[in-house]
């Protein structure tokens, strides 16, 4: 498993096929859902160990069903591809979040609705209290400021979680799809600044304006009326 590299377009199609293989439970994630799921983990408030999130790849419903691979090598191949997808997401958000290209923009067979399902599922499964706190702050900001664009609107509008259908009227769907990556960058920035794992800057000393140069026979700047040499100069 050493030397994992991000997936090429060919690797993405290979992973998609592995997720749809007969060895996988019927509740396994598809590629779009998996990438959305991993993206929320990558940009979230805290790190999530692999042993916690990996079972959900094979069983998006409750994380308990397991694959029935006939050989260890088949299982390793799936894991290698999943980790390659994770590396690609992590690299993008580390180097240039705005350049991130989700899989639904690479191939029309992968849908943004499934991607958003995976994203929201991760926010409800790992560190949900902290995600809920951000969700509440975002909702409050949206109600207080008409100009505030909700961080989570693209995901809730497209996802099947709490949304029975998505309207395609007046380009609504295209609008929300286009808003996903900008929303991700804003969420990432929030956690970097205010999340529990944010690097806190050391406490800085308050700024002190330097005192003007005072001659020894000048009046002391403390206002005592005495000469500087007989007062604060220490003589």
Residue 149's CB is within 10 A of a number of other CB atoms, namely 14
Token pair belonging to 228: 């500087």
Q: How far apart are CA 111 and CA 113, in angstroms?
A: 5
Q: Are residues 136 and 221 in the same domain?
A: no
DSSP string, 171-194: GHHHHHHHHHHHHHHHHHHHHHHH
Indicate the Cα dihedral angle 84, 89, 95, 99, nearest 10°: 120
Q: How confident is the model at residue 149, as a pLDDT?
A: 80
- CA atoms 85, 90, 92, 97: torsion sign: positive
Q: Classify residue 4: in a domain, yes or no.
A: no
Q: Would you call 219 helix, strand, or coil by DSSP? A: strand
Q: How confident is the model at residue 208, as a pLDDT?
A: 31
Q: Are residues 218 and 175 in the same domain?
A: no
Q: Classify residue 75: in a domain, yes or no.
A: yes
CATH code assigned at 181: 1.20.120
Q: Are residues 172 and 222 in the same domain?
A: no
Q: Are residues 79 and 138 in the same domain?
A: yes
Query: What is the domain range of residue 67?
Result: 9-194
Q: Are residues 109 and 132 in the same domain?
A: yes
Residues of the chain where predicted confidence (pLDDT) is lower than 70? 1-2, 147, 162-170, 198-216, 218-235
Cβ-Cβ contacts under 8 Å for 200 (sequence gap 6 or more)? none
Q: How far apart are CA 144 and CA 57, in angstroms?
A: 38
Q: Are residues 188 and 209 in the same domain?
A: no
pLDDT, tens digit, 9 for 90 and up, residues 6-35: 999 999 999 999 999 999 999 999 999 999
Cβ-contact 53, 37 below 8 angstroms: yes
Q: Classify residue 212: in a domain, yes or no.
A: yes
Give the single-character DSSP code of 164: S
Which whole-number Å values give the CA distances from 99 to 32, 92, 193, in the listed order?
Answer: 18, 7, 21
Q: Are residues 134 and 212 in the same domain?
A: no
Q: Classify residue 215: in a domain, yes or no.
A: yes
Q: How confident is the model at residue 218, as a pLDDT?
A: 67
Q: Are residues 159 and 222 in the same domain?
A: no
Q: How confident is the model at residue 203, as a pLDDT?
A: 34
Cβ-Cβ contacts under 8 Å for 226 (sequence gap 6 or more)? 219, 220
Closest CA to 45 of 133, 177, 169: 133
Q: Are residues 140 and 235 in the same domain?
A: no
pLDDT, tens digit, 9 for 90 and up, residues 192-225: 999 887 654 333 333 333 334 556 676 654 444 5
Q: Are residues 235 and 147 in the same domain?
A: no
- The number of domains in the chain is 2
Q: Classify residue 199: in a domain, yes or no.
A: no
Q: Classify residue 55: in a domain, yes or no.
A: yes
Q: Are residues 131 and 232 in the same domain?
A: no
Q: Are residues 63 and 163 in the same domain?
A: yes
Closest CA to 18 of 87, 79, 105: 79
Cβ-contact 198, 192 below 8 angstroms: yes
């Amino acid at each position: 498993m050493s030397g994992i590299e991000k997936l090429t377009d060919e690797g993405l199609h290979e992973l998609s096929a592995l997720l749809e293989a007969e060895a996988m439970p019927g509740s396994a994630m598809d590629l779009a859902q998996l990438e959305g799921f991993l993206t929320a983990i990558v940009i979230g408030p805290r790190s999530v160990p692999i042993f916690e999130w990996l079972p959900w790849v094979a069983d998006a419903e409750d994380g308990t069903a397991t694959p029935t691979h006939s050989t260890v090598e088949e299982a390793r191949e799936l894991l290698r591809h999943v980790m390659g997808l994770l590396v690609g997401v992590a690299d993008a958000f580390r180097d240039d979040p705005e350049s991130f290209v989700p899989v639904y923009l690479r191939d029309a067979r992968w849908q943004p609705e499934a991607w958003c399902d995976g994203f929201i599922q991760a926010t409800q499964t790992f560190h949900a209290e902290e995600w809920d706190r951000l969700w509440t702050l975002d909702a409050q900001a949206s109600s207080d400021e008409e100009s505030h664009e909700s961080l989570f609107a693209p995901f809730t509008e497209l996802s099947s979680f709490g949304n029975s259908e998505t309207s395609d009227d007046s380009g609504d769907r295209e609008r929300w799809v286009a808003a996903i990556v900008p929303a991700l960058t804003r969420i990432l920035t929030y956690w970097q600044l205010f999340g529990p794992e944010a690097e806190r800057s050391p406490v800085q000393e308050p700024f002190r304006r330097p005192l003007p140069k005072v001659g020894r026979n000048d009046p002391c700047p403390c206002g005592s009326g005495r000469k500087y040499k007989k007062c604060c100069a220490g003589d």
